[in-house]
Amino acid sequence: MKIPPVKGTRDFYPPQMAIRNWIIDGWKQVSVRNGFEEYDGPIFELLQMYQIKSGDEIVEQLFSLQDRGGRDLAIRPEITPTLARMVNQQINALPRPIKWFSVPRLCRAERPQKGRLREFFQWNVDIIGVDRSTADAEVILTTLDYLRMVGLTNRDVQAKISSRKLLAAVLRGVGIPEEKLNSLYAVLDKKAKLPAETFEAMLAEQVPDSNQARVIQDFMVARSVEDVESLVDFDDDIQNAIMNLKIVFHTLDLMGVSDYCVFDPGIVRGLAYYTGVVFEVHDVVGELRAICGGGRYDNLLRDFGGPRIPATGMGMGDAVLEILLAEKGLLERQVPKPQLEYYVTCADAIFTKDIFTITAKIRETGHSAAFNYGLWLEPSGTCEAPSLSKQLKDAAKQNASKCVIIGQEYADKRELVIKDMTKDQPSQAQVGVDQFLSDLT
């Protein structure tokens, strides 16, 4: 019986692995050039860690287990709680600001669908210890720096930016009690994902007063920060939240990415811990779920038993990103094809032993090299080799850049024939074996 893979998981055969590696290498490269250092944590944590502050949706999606001592554990559905725990643990020893990135493998027991899996990779960048909006802008800039590097333009993706603080101030302003805010965020976050009537029914359940509900709805479709100013009465909280947003947009403008950014108060974020500027990047067509999401979470470290240290960051999954890059033809063009540098062949079976010694020496210099497995060599010297043309065909199949041919020249003058396979008309040159090997180092 053939055992199938688990629903919502992926097998990475070499072509898929090449894509995964290319995506992750890009994430790491952009993290480093934006000044982030890499960290990681364990793949499972105590279950209670996610019950503190991630929100009901994430808790419902946990893969949980019990260890032999009866402790309740969960496979990480996100790395932000681990980050908060790790920072709290060494709070006095860590130089601040902390600018860290990570690429964890995460698991969420979601219903698998396009771009939504039960196991995926997620790039995280976080800045801890900076309350200024500059840090929020830096996180958004780093995100866009990557998306721009892989060839996505502002016609493909858009960063939608809003503020939980502003939303909270508006909700308080219309009279929503503090204790209802978190459950209301979860409903508002679903606005773009649900049919209008379903959303309105859910909102009416939480906010039965139709006047209150109307102001909330109007706020969520406001086109600009200025529109919001005309919608609600100004208080210090609103003024402060609007100023933070203006600084973020201004900084992003100076950094040259404002053409990717829009204000969108419909962005609420599903996770419970956000407290300030929030953002998501979406495909412009709006076909896919968010490519990434993040924002400011100034209370999470305190909620995890540490001091109140401000923090902001984002997470980008590989699944939606890969779908979008494939749709735009950007994978085909950029993911490197498997490439072999040297394929070592012989024109006569008597050179079989030289194939092994020369291949090993090429590999020792750090270059890749292969040979045909039809070769046969017994300690007595009895040997066999496929024809040279068969070996060369195999080299082409393996996409080798160069073929090394060991033939009569080697017996006469210790010279190899090097055939360049990268050109339409392969060219050949002869070179002494010692010279060839020393040129490789």
Burial track 105-115 (b if 16+ CB lie within 10 A, e otherwise): ebbbeeeeeeb
Shortest distance, position 196 Cβ to ligand HAM, whole Å? 23
Crossing angle of helices 352-364 and 433-440, rounded to 10°: 30
Place of tokens 């100013």: 229
Under rule CB under 6 A, which residues in 254-283 are in contact with ligand HAM?
271
Burial track 270-306 (b if 16+ CB lie within 10 A, e otherwise): bbbbbbbbbbbbbbeeeebbbbbbbbbbbbbbeebee
Which stretches of 221-296 are DSSP H helices?
225-231, 236-254
Question: CB burial class (10 A; 0-12, 13-18, 19+) of residue 94?
Answer: middle
Residue nearest to ligand HAM (CB): 317
Reading the block at residue 147, the tokens are 């998306």
Reading the block at residue 134, the tokens are 């500059």
Shortest distance, position 348 Cβ to ligand HAM, whole Å? 55
Smaller CB separation from ligand HAM, 245 or 405: 245
Q: What is the amino acid identity at position 119?
A: E
Binds ligand HAM (CB under 6 A): choice among 78, 131, 227, 303: 78
Crossing angle of helices 210-220 and 164-173, rounded to 10°: 160
Nearest Cα to 126, choosing from 147, 148, 97? 97
What is the DSSP code (8-state) at residue 30?
H
Crossing angle of helices 236-254 and 164-173, rounded to 10°: 150
Binds ligand HAM (CB under 6 A): choice among 23, 314, 331, 417: 314
Smaller CB separation from ligand HAM, 187 or 340: 187
Of 115-123, 150-158, 327-335, 353-361, the window that binds ligand HAM (rule: CB under 6 A) is: 115-123
Shortest distance, position 374 Cβ to ligand HAM, whole Å? 44
- Give yes or no for residue 313 binding ligand HAM (CB under 6 A): yes
Binds ligand HAM (CB under 6 A): choice among 276, 293, 310, 386: 293
Smaller CB separation from ligand HAM, 122 or 244: 122
Smaller CB separation from ligand HAM, 117 or 403: 117
Binds ligand HAM (CB under 6 A): choice among 104, 294, 310, 386: 294
Shortest distance, position 56 Cβ to ligand HAM, whole Å? 13
Strands (E), 103-202: 105-107, 119-128, 157-163
Shortest distance, position 9 Cβ to ligand HAM, whole Å? 11
Shortest distance, position 147 Cβ to ligand HAM, whole Å? 12
User: Which run of H or of E encompasses 53?
Assistant: helix 48-53
Q: How many residues bind to ligand HAM according to rule CB under 6 A?
A: 23
Binds ligand HAM (CB under 6 A): choice among 62, 168, 290, 346: 290
Kindly give the pairing relationship between strand 277-283 and strand 292-296.
Answer: antiparallel
Of 21-29, 188-196, 250-258, 316-324, the window that binds ligand HAM (rule: CB under 6 A) is: 316-324
Binds ligand HAM (CB under 6 A): choice among 87, 144, 222, 291: 291
- Give yes or no for residue 80 binding ligand HAM (CB under 6 A): yes
Smaller CB separation from ligand HAM, 228 or 311: 311
Cα separation, 166 vs 209, whole angstroms: 21
CB atoms within 10 A of CB 61: 17
Give residues in contact with ligand HAM (CB under 6 A): 78, 80, 108, 110, 116-117, 120, 122, 124, 126, 271, 290-294, 313-317, 319-320
